[in-house]
Amino acid sequence: MNTLITVRPNSPRLTGMLAAASLLLSGTIAQAATADGGLYLNFFGGFSGLSSGDLIQSGATSKGDYDGGTIVGMALGKQLNQDWALEAEWFYRSNEISSVTGGPFNGVNNGDFASTNLMFNAIYHFHATDKVKLYCGVGLGLMQEVDIDMTISGAEQEFSDNWVPAAQLILGAAYPINQTFSATAEVRYHFASSPSLEASNGGAGLKADYSGYSALLGLRYSF
């Protein structure tokens, strides 16, 4: 379940662009964090939805469908000014397999598709009212690990990949409870360069579509 296998991202140009952008954004966060005040921690969790997608092995394609799952995570942020904030974020999401049809995995209905993510987000606040602060954002980063576990002919098989380029779009609202704490609510769309997952048993790997959405509630602590 926890085997990690080093991968080679399938799009060198996309990998380079996302890696450069992530390094630039992380450097900006580190520089901003040296300023006085404006730091916050955000703890969040909620619903994870994973879009149906192709599972391709040796040129044959199966279609995977997934149940609703869960997502939990945290972010360290820096409020740069009234409008902009930057965040370094970690989160884990997991969805159970509902069904797989066609191709080499036809009939599989037991397993899960999970990922551990490291993201760097840029957040813009709209300041709609004095109480509720609306914001949107974009994030770039990497899926540190992504894996699919399936039971095939009574035997469990794991397919995994590491350091897959990923991105996300964020829309949210923050409600100040007091000067220290705020409640947050967000919807997100998260997507990644289709990972090429290797089989833990040394057999044929697979390539999987990966995109999904989430609805989150959080609690933000401002220093």
Q: Does 167 reside within a domain?
A: yes
Residue closest to 150 by CA, chosen among 191, 104, 190, 116: 104
Q: Which of 119, 130, 142, 129 is nearest to 9 (CA)?
A: 142
**pLDDT at residue 51 above 90?**
yes
pLDDT at 16 over 60: no
The whole-number pLDDT of residue 4 equals: 35
Write out the residue range of the structural domain in which residue 104 sits. Answer: 12-32+46-222
Q: Is residue 1 included in any domain, yes or no?
A: no
DSSP 27: H
Confidence class for position 195, pLDDT limits 50, 70, 90: confident
Q: What is the pLDDT of residue 202?
A: 86
Calculate what percentage of the chain has a pLDDT beyond 90. 70
Q: How far is CA 126 from the centre of its chain?
A: 24
Cα–Cα distance list, 134 to 16, 171, 191, 204 (Å) = 32, 8, 23, 46
Residue 216 CB coordination number (10 Å): 21
Residue 216 in this model has a pLDDT that exceeds 80 = yes
Q: CA nearest 96: which of 84, 105, 108?
A: 108
Is the pLDDT at 79 greater than 50? The verdict is yes
Higher pLDDT, 124 or 23: 124
Instruction: Tell me the pLDDT tens digit for each residue of 24-34.
Output: 555 554 444 44
Q: Which of 32-41, 119-128, 143-152, 167-176 has the highest mean pLDDT?
A: 167-176
Longest Cα pair distance anywhere in the chain, in angstroms?
Answer: 59
Query: Does residue 6 fall inside a structural domain?
Result: no
Task: Identify whether 52 is part of a domain.
Answer: yes
Give the model's pLDDT for residue 139: 98
Does any domain span residue 78?
yes
Residue 204 maps to a domain: yes
Which residues 6+ apart lie within 8 Å of 208 measured at CB? Answer: 53, 54, 55, 56, 64, 113, 148, 159, 194, 195, 197
- Give domain status of residue 56, yes or no: yes
Of 201 and 187, the structure prediction assigns the larger pLDDT to 187
**Mean of pLDDT values over 101-121:** 94
Exposure class string for 187-215: b at 16+ Cβ within 10 A, else e: ebebbbbbbbbbbbeeeebbbbbbbbbbe
Q: What is the CATH number of the domain that holds 131?
A: 2.40.160.20
Nearest to 121 by CA among 81, 92, 83, 78: 78
> Is residue 2 situated within a structural domain?
no
Domain count, the chain: 1
CA dihedral angle for residue 117, residue 120, residue 124, residue 129, rounded to 10 degrees: 50
Amino acid 22: pLDDT: 55
Strands (E), the chain: 39-50, 53-57, 60-66, 69-79, 84-101, 111-125, 133-152, 155-176, 181-192, 196-199, 206-208, 211-222
